[in-house]
């Protein structure tokens, strides 16, 4: 009697559907993810056991280098009304109003293209009189190097300037704010009521300083904020184990 031959089945698995799902998931995460902006300086925050997370929206971050350079970064809401680009555009316009009111003989005004460029930057720290020159650097890599202090800024009249962050100094006169204080006020006025409420509750402003930054440098930033009635803010730290 002959053996019954069992028909072999095809063991190949059709992965077409799986590939389609993978591509769809990858596309979804690419479209919904928020990419971290490069910071102009490297800051290693001091360790702490505090576990309260830093907000990823409606936040004004103050970046302080060990040498005392100050930079700002503004994040708006994730909705379409007060998203980061919209808030930054309003911020630049408000800051121009404050600056020109204080310097009527040397006003700084921006074109629509310059405002659009500023709305897309991350952290910034440029003396306001040179902001137009910095925004008009077409090479983004060069613009970052100028901000980081690796390259000098070449102004429209050919002068080379080494940038040193946003100008800040001890100032206890709120009626005569320095540039840092004007930026903070302009940011506050650019935000929606949700961020203003967050700032009033102490969660809308965060100071990020390197662990080697002297306290005297950070203290200048805190005093500047308190002078303009921004009395509640957070200090960014890196999480460590409690037993350390």
193-238 pLDDT, tens digit per residue, is 666 776 767 678 888 888 888 888 889 999 999 999 888 888 876 5
Residue 9 forms part of a structural domain: no
Q: Please report whether residue 136 resides in a domain.
A: yes
Is residue 39 in some structural domain? no
As beta bridge partners, residue 240 has none
Q: Tokens for 176? A: 């005569």
Q: Which residues contact 153 (CB under 8 A, 6 or more apart)?
A: 130, 133, 134, 137, 146, 160, 161, 162, 163
DSSP state of 130: G
Residue 232 lies in a domain: yes
Strand, coil or helix: 207: strand
The answer to whether residue 1 sits within a structural domain is no
Reply yes or no on whether the pLDDT at 137 is more than 90.
Answer: yes
Who has greater pLDDT, 230 or 80? 230
- Percent of the chain at pLDDT exceeding 90: 33
Contact by Cβ (8 Å): 161, 130: yes
- Domains identified in the chain, total number: 1
Tokens of 193: 């009521």
Is 153 part of a structural domain of the chain? yes
Query: Residue 55 falls within a domain, yes or no?
Result: yes
Mean pLDDT over 44-71 rounds to 74
Percent of the chain whose predicted confidence (pLDDT) is above 70: 70
Compute the chain's Rg from CA coordinates: 24
pTM here is 0.75
Residue 240's pLDDT is what? Answer: 46
Burial of 88 (0-12, 13-18, 19+ CB in 10 A): buried
Distance (Å, whole) CA 235 – CA 169: 20
Range of the domain at 119: 47-239
28 within domain boundaries:
no
């Amino acid at each position: 009697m002959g053996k019954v031959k069992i028909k072999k089945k095809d063991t190949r698995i059709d992965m077409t559907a799986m590939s389609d799902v993978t591509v769809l998931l990858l596309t979804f995460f690419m479209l919904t993810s928020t990419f971290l902006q490069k910071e102009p300086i490297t800051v290693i925050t001091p360790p702490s056991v505090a576990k309260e997370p830093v907000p990823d929206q409606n936040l004004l971050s103050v970046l302080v280098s060990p040498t005392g350079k100050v930079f700002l970064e503004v994040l708006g809401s994730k909705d379409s009304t007060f998203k980061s680009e919209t808030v930054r555009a309003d911020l630049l316009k408000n800051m121009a109003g404050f600056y020109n009111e204080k310097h009527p003989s040397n006003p700084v005004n921006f074109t629509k293209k310059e405002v659009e460029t500023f709305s897309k930057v991350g952290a910034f720290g440029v003396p306001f009189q040179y902001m137009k020159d910095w925004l008009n650097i077409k090479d983004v890599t060069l613009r970052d190097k100028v901000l980081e202090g690796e390259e000098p800024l070449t102004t429209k009249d050919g002068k080379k300037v080494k940038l040193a962050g946003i100008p800040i100094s001890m100032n206890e006169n709120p009626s005569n704010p320095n540039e840092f204080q004007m930026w903070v006020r302009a940011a506050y006025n650019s935000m929606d009521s949700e961020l203003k409420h967050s700032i009033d509750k102490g969660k809308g402003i965060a100071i990020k300083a390197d662990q080697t930054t002297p306290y005297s440098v950070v203290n200048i930033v805190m005093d500047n904020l308190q002078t303009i009635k921004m009395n509640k803010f957070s200090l960014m730290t890196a999480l460590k184990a409690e037993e350390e």
